[in-house]
Structures are given as structure tokens and as C-alpha cells.
Structure 1
């Protein structure tokens, strides 16, 4: 499955260092990332899930590019805080504590459209997650109200697959217990992280119904 990503490309310099930062030209309307202390919860509709899958794929295939996703979702639940997201290949060696300074040095940006292919990772890539000696995990930290996900190409591919799964199956999911007193159309997937880090719980959310105009 191919998707087109409409992006804005920025550059930042610090001494002899140069960084390329990409952002969606338009942040997703129905997406949120919450730090719930025990969990990291991402809530997305189909369009946002496809965008996220594309951005995580871009991070896997463009190791010299830092991907920044501003998220302006709904008010976070009590006891939670809303986060932005940064995806970066570990070879960039950018400490999250430097992000605020780097963000302030970004150029105005130029538009660019990139087409990426969303594919399911090979079964053996999933299998290695359970190996005791596997060290190829995401490393994460939260700084300046932003979640930083640092890793190699493989975990980014697996993360993209989680969002693609939610985009494909979430909208058609049917509540298996429709007779309950409340509706619970809960379809989710997981982005796996290092053993001592918190996984990201990716949950499908229907976009809110459009508000009807006032009747005369």
C-alpha cells in the first residue's frame, strides 16, 4: 500500500552540525498522544493512523532525517499530559535535551511530497523480538512535552506496522458484546519498546460526527 506524505522540510545548524527535520504539512486532526504515567496511549482515526504509519516508515528509510509530529488532540484525561512526538535514528546521536534549542533554529521550511510503501515486516522480524539476546529495541525519553523514540530501521518498521494494522482493521471492528450497557469498539495494537520502557498502546478512535447546523 502506497501513501503520499505532504511534508514541510526544515533545516537547522549548530556549529558544524546540520539537521534535517520534517513535519506533516498539516498535523492530523484526530490524533493524540497521552502520557498516562503507566502507559503511553496514542488515539488515532484511520487517516491519522495511515499518516503515522507513513511517518514511521519514513523514519525507517531516512536515517539522516528527524521526524517531528506536533499533536494537538483533545484535553488529556485527568492525571495525564499531552505529548508531541519525535522519531530519530540512533545514528543521529541527538540528545533529547537539545531538541528545544534545535527547534528554535529551524528554517521556515519548504514543501515536499514523498511517497512511501506501507508493508508488513517479515515474520522473522517479529520473531526476534522474543529472543533473550535481542537488543534492537526502541529507546524512549520524554523531554519538553515531547516523546522521543530512538531506534534503528527494524523497530521503526514494526512500529509503522502497528499503525497500519489499526488503520486497516479499526474502522470495521464490531463490538463483540453489543448488549452491554456501554459501547466499547476497542481495536488496538502495540508498538514494542525496550524491556524497561513503556510500550505505546495505539487505539482506534472514530472521528467525531460533524455538528449539524442550527435549524431555522
Structure 2
């Protein structure tokens, strides 16, 4: 295991009698996009973005009373995986199911967020040898009464990933593995430079949720 220091901004805003805390990365990734392709969701990112999003996944696991918001919609597209007609770019919000936040209120809450206050959080990042689950854990995820599942909602051009602390911790390696291995694999296989992972329906972590394809990209289209 190693420690990751993650600079964030903490925002607080009130909706009626309730006050909500929203956490954003101090510097959102530039080379990262989340695309809604109707039947599936595609994420393209570089190494820095993969580490950052893996860190935010771990932060969501340890922050059950907060919404973790990652602004992505304004980012340029990768050189491969360009969005076709009808594809939407999305922002991302991670939240614990116990917060019971209604995504329909997100646009109003987002509009009330100020500049926030800076803070640095320290996260424990599992090493490569600890990113897999045991066969017992894998079997438990498929149990019909398992509640450690992701559920997704789309609202205000934002994908909401709602889950438990356990499922956020269990799936953070999707991004950490891309950060650790993507650059080396692409450099060694220039003719087949495709390194990816996936939140797959057979993984036992998706409830009312679509599959998510996560791909490393080292080439990005010019801005503009």
C-alpha cells in the first residue's frame, strides 16, 4: 500500500433545511472524458486522470456524507473514441447510497456552490497485489441479497454513481490498474495500443447500472 495526497476543494450549500457537502478535485483532469453512448458508458483518460479518479473512488468510499463531483464535460476528446452523433459528454458524481440525495436536485445544488475551501486529503491506495478480490468475495457479490451494487442515474448532463463504501473500494482498482499498466502496455504494443478495463455485468457490482468501459489514451485531439 502507499499514500496518496489528493488536493481538493470542499463546498457546502443548503437546499431548504438540508445542507450538503460537495468535494471536487482542486485541479480536475484535462485528459479525461465520460461518454454516454446510450447502451454503454465509455471513459477515456490518461495516466494522471486515472490515478486521480481512482483516488476519488477511494475518497467516495470514506466520505459517506459527501457528494464527490468530477467536472468533465468541457474536456476535449481523445484522438480515438471520438464521440459520434448522439453521444453526450457527462460530468460524474459519486455518492454513498445512505445520503439519499435526489439527482433531480443536483442542478440547483450545483448552482449554489461557491469557490470552496482548499484541503488536502490523504488516502491509502492498495498495491497491485491487493486489487483482486477473493473467490468468496466474488461469490458474495453475485448473491441475490447483495446490496453492495452500483446504481446509476442521469440528470443535468451528469452521471450519478450511487453505491456502498465496499463497492467503491472494490472497484477503485479499475482506474489504478489503468494508471499503473496502461502507459507501459501502449508503448510496448504500438500496433495494438489498446489497454482497457470494464465494469462488466458479470463482475457482480452493477445493479441498475450500465457497463462502463475504461480505456487508457495517450493521444488527444487538438483543442478547439
TM-score (normalised: structure 1)? 0.87
Query: Map of 1:136-215 to 2, 5 A cutoff?
Result: 136-174=148-186, 183-192=191-200, 193-208=205-220
Equivalenced residues, count:
206
Could you tell me which residue of structure 2 aligns to residue 40 of structure 1? 41
Q: Which residue, out of 73, 76, 80, partners 1:74? A: 76
Q: CA deviation at 1:186?
A: 1.1
* Cα displacement string for residues 16-59 of structure 1 (whole angstroms, at most 9, x for unaligned residues): 21111011111101111000112101111111000000001000
- Farther-moved stretch of structure 1 (70-79 vs 4-13): 70-79
Q: CA deviation at 1:196?
A: 4.6
Q: What is the alpha-carbon root mean square deviation over aligned residues? A: 2.2
Could you tell me which residue of structure 2 aligns to residue 213 of structure 1? none
Rounded to whole Å, the distance in 2 between the matches of 1:122 and 1:166 is: 17
- Farther-moved stretch of structure 1 (86-95 vs 12-21): 12-21
Rounded to whole Å, the distance in 2 between the matches of 1:67 and 1:177 is: 35
Q: 1:44 to 1:91 in 2, by over 3 A?
A: same
- Listed as ranges, the gaps of 5+ residues in structure 2 are none
- The answer to whether the 8 A contact 2:35-2:87 is kept is yes
Could you tell me which residue of structure 1 aligns to residue 116 of structure 2? 109
Rounded to whole Å, the distance in 2 between the matches of 1:50 and 1:34 is: 19
Rounded to whole Å, the distance in 1 between the matches of 2:153 and 2:29 is: 23
The alignment status of 1:53 with 2:65, answered yes or no, reads no
- Farther-moved stretch of structure 1 (141-150 vs 184-193): 184-193
Q: Which has the larger radius of gyration?
A: 1
* Cα displacement string for residues 66-117 of structure 1 (whole angstroms, at most 9, x for unaligned residues): 1000013224511311000000101111110000011112233001111101
